[in-house]
Amino acid sequence: MKLIDANKLSDLASALAGAGYRVVAPIEDSGVVRLKEWTEGAAIRTDVIPVNSAKDFLFPPSEVIGHWDIDGDGFTPRDVRPDAPKTVLLAVRPCDAASLALLDTVFNWDYRDDFYNARRQAATVVPMVCTAADAQCFCTSVGGAPDAAASADAMLRSADGGAKFILEPLTDKGSALLGAAGDAVREGEATADPPAEVPRRFDVEAVTDWLSRNFESDLWVTLSLGCLGCGACAYACPTCHCFDMQDEATRRESVRLKNWDSCGFGLFTLHAGGHNPRPDQAARWRQRVMHKFAYIPERFNLLGCTGCGRCARLCGAGMSMSEVCQRIADETRKALTHAS
C-alpha cells in the first residue's frame, strides 16, 4: 500500500503542485482553519474541520460568467471561460465529498452549468477518513459515514495511530494523482486507524415524514427563534447552491456575476412590488429545512444535508440543523405515541 508520514502531507502537496495541480487543503490562516490554496511552507491541518467546505472551489462565492465591452450604443461580448485549473481537493472530509452527488445533479438538472462542470471535471477529490468527530458532526444521521468514499477519487486513511496516512486510489483521477505524487508517497505496510464514532442523532425519515404534513406549523417560529438572518450557514454549507445574478457596469464594460445567495436573507424572496412571501426567519428556516429534507429528496432522491455540522459550529445565534431535526423527529415520535 502507498504511505505518507502524517507530518509529510506538505511534501505530497509540494509534489502535486510541482506536477501542475492547484492544491486545496485545510490550512490555518490567522486563527481560522480553512480550505484554501496551498502555497509552499503552509502547514496542512487535518485535526480541525475547516470552516468552509470544498464547494468553494467548484462554485466560488463570486464568479464572472459574462463580460461585454461597451462602445457608445453598441457592445461586444468577450469570450468568458470558466477559470478551472487542474485541482486536487486534498484532505477534505467525507461530508465534503458527499455533497458532490447533489451539486453534480443540481448543476446539470435542467441546465448544464459549464462553469461548475469545468471546475468539477478538473478536480480530483481526496477526502480523509475522519478519526475524530465533535458534538456537531451528524453524518451518520443523513446516510453518510466518517469513512464514506462516495465521490472520492482517492482516500487518505489515518494509520498506525495517526503516524501515517494510507493513500488509496479509487478512480483513474486518483491513480493519476498517485502517479504525480512521486517520492512523497512510499510503498509499505500500515494498519488503518478506526474511523470516528458518530452517533446517530435523529431518524431522517421521521423528519421528512413530519415535513410532508407540517408546512403550516407553529413549531417553525419556535425552531427558528435564534436565527438572526445572516447567510453564514448557507455559505459554509457544502450543499447550499443558491446564487444571485448581478450585472455590474461602467460606461466602458459590463460584467455578469454569479454570486452566492442565501434563503436566510429577506431580500432572497422580496418581490419587486414589495410583497415578501417569506416574511420572517420562521418562513426562511422552514424553507432551509424543507429544501434539504423534503424538496431535494422528493425531486432527486438525495438529501440536501451531509451532516458536516459546519452551520452549527459557526452560528453565533446557536442555530443547529441537527438540533432542529432532532426536535422535528421528536414531534413525529410524540404523534405516534399519542396515536397508539
Binding stretches for other proteins (CB under 8 A): 29-32, 34, 51-52, 61-62, 135-136, 221, 224-226, 228-232, 234-236, 244, 246, 248, 257, 259-260, 262, 265-267, 279-282, 314, 316-318, 320, 323
Looking at beta carbons only, is 86 or 313 nearer to other proteins?
A: 313
Would you say 76 or 259 has its CB closer to other proteins?
259
Residues 6 or more apart whose Cβ sits within 8 Å of residue 205: none
| Nearest residue (CB) to other proteins, 42 versus 230 | 230
SS3 for 249-276 is ECCCEEEEEEEECCCCCHHHCCCCCCCC
Residue 87 pairs in a beta bridge with 22, 123
Beta carbon of residue 239, minimum distance to other proteins (angstroms, whole number): 16
Residue nearer to other proteins on the CB measure, 142 or 319: 319
Q: Which amino acid is present at 120?
A: R
C-alpha cell at 71: 462602445
Nearest-approach distance from CB 80 to other proteins, in angstroms: 15
Could you tell me the smallest distance in angstroms from the CB atom of residue 67 to other proteins? 14
Instruction: Tell me how far, at minimum, the Cβ of 228 lies from other proteins, in Å.
Output: 4
Burial class (CB in 10 A: 0-12, 13-18, 19+), 288: buried
Map residue 79 onto helix, strand or coil: coil
**Residue nearer to other proteins on the CB measure, 245 or 336:** 245
Q: Considering the complex, what minimum distance in angstroms separates the CB of residue 270 from other proteins?
A: 8
- What are phi and psi for residue 301, nearest 5 degrees? 55, 35
- Return all residues near 145 (Cβ < 8 A) that are at least 6 apart: 94, 139, 195, 198
- Does residue 173 contact residue 153 with C-beta atoms inside 8 Å? yes
Smallest separation (angstroms) from other proteins to the CB of 77: 20
CB 90 within 8 A of CB 125: no
Q: Between 52 and 87, whose beta carbon lies closer to other proteins?
A: 52
**C-beta separation of 201 from 322 below 8 A:** yes
Which is nearer to other proteins, 214 or 224 (by Cβ)?
224
